[in-house]
Amino acid sequence: MALRHARTARRAALAALGGLVLTGLPSVAAAGLPPTAGLAPGAARPLGGDADRPAAQLLGALRRDLGLTEAQASERLANEAEAGTRAGRLRIALGERFAGAWVHGTASENLTVATVDAGDVPAIEAQGATASVVRRTLSDLVAAKAKLDAAATRVQILDTPVWYVDVPNNRIMVQARSQAAGTAFVEAAGLQDSDVGIHPTTDSPRLMQDITGGDAFYINGTTRCSVGFSVTGDEQQGFVTAGHCGAPGAVTTGYDRTAQGTFQASTFPGKDMAWVATNDRWTATPGVKAQDGQEVQVTGSVQALVGAAVCRSGSTTGWHCGTIQQHDTSVAYPQGTVGGLTRTTVCVEPGDSGGPFVAGAQAQGVTSGGSGNCTSGGTTFYQPVNPILSDFGLVLTTTAQATTPAPAPQDGGGQEWTEGRVYEAGAVVASDGVRYRCLQSHQAQGAWTPAETPALWQRG
């Protein structure tokens, strides 16, 4: 009980981080696509009071790691939340011509949306975004990367450890030990050199094997990982973490070395995801460990854009921040290839594996691996959380939940909006007889019905 009481007191000492301004965005987006929705610094923001203010620990880490002032850090989070909704609307409007979106600028004050059709430029600029006319659609880039993923199952790839869709530069990038190694991998995939950039690097991503999630936990009494996010599955409480931390059936103990739980499912390689069901001594909370023993509170799992700020908690190095560089990255670890990872500038060290990444108040993923360290800096990859929730039928524990919904089946059956289901951007649902399209990938919660959350859903 001492553990529960300590956690409760710690959570009570810190107000909820808020809904990544999702609760305020309807006032901006309710009228559809406003003709003047720019992100000019100092513009009015849909922040609704203390409940919507980011936690001091989050702002402090952004100031430290990104060199921001407090005002810039707050402005950045508001801009990124607003940009995500507008990018989602433009993605739907452009359809197959859409070639990606990203934020940039000290406070993420600039949103750029790419298209393959110059005729889309006026519509993009009317939404306060910068238009970029490029050669390849996002669908084309994803298809090209899929060829590299397929080639990785046939050829030796230890000399080409990382490849990803580079949205801002409208290309596929391969990081390789040498130009020759990169070229050989590209040719094995049936791609042309002009389609893929090759970046020679000495970086060698590795799994953070000896680690916890925010807090530490131990697997079979030996190796250490980090707890990711609290979840509920099959009416059992627990948490998600990295798949390389343990196999199904592995027994865990908590940071205090007391009995904790058992790995219920684990996928690695291919993906890097797992979940642990805990015993009744442990209570699922929406908290993520930040600085000085404090916590920030998770309110959902809305996926952030490339360029957005993101922070990570780990049992070895604590709380650190950086930016998202690319989604849908494939990494060839010595133990096998993992696809669908997100690449970031956040530092990491052994023992941080499985720990949580958050953007504002939104859960993003769990630490997989990386290169470098928190002294000289480095690159870190995380396994996005929404696929974990979807694959394992889990419900994320958040501050917004009045009740814990049953995990929704992810078989795609039916289009009725369902609490607990993971929706990808572009998905179509019906709610109260009205058709909606998803703007940003997330797990549905009771408070986020399509009619009440235009930041996530577009009517029609």
Contacts of 412 (CB under 8 A, 6+ apart): none
Contact (CB, 8 A) for 251 and 236: no
The per-residue pLDDT for range 325-370, each reduced to its tens digit, is 999 999 999 999 999 999 999 999 999 999 999 999 999 999 999 9
Q: Distance from CA of residue 395 to its chain's centroid? A: 16
Return the bridge partners of 310, or none: 322
Domain ranges of the chain: 2-133
| Sheet (strand 273-278) strand order | 223-226, 216-219, 251-253, 259-267, 273-278, 236-241, 230-233, 395-396
Most distant CA pair in the chain, distance: 63
In words, the CATH class of domain 2-133 is alpha beta
pLDDT over 70 (residue 92)? yes
pLDDT of residue 408: 55
* Gap between the Cα atoms of 176 and 287, Å rounded: 38
371-421 pLDDT, tens digit per residue, is 999 999 999 999 999 999 999 999 999 987 644 455 555 554 458 999 999
The whole-model pTM stands at 0.80
φ/ψ of 38, rounded to 5, equals -65, 170
The confidence band for 293, taking pLDDT boundaries of 50, 70 and 90, is confident
**Which range, of 24-38, 180-194, 269-283, 392-406, averages the lowest pLDDT?**
24-38
Question: Tell me, what's the pLDDT at 409?
Answer: 56
SS3 95: helix
Q: For residue 42, what pLDDT is reported?
A: 35
pLDDT tens-digit profile of 139-148?
Answer: 999 999 999 9
Cα(458)–Cα(220) distance, integer angstroms = 47
Q: Which residue has the higher pLDDT, 27 or 343?
A: 343
Q: What is the pLDDT of residue 55?
A: 76
DSSP string for residues in 179-192: HHHHHHHHHHTT--
The average confidence (pLDDT) of the chain is: 85
Residues that are catalytic: 244, 272, 353
23 phi/psi in degrees, rounded to 5? -70, -25
Percentage of residues in the chain having pLDDT higher than 90: 71
Residue-wise pLDDT for 37-57, tens only, equals 344 433 333 333 444 567 788
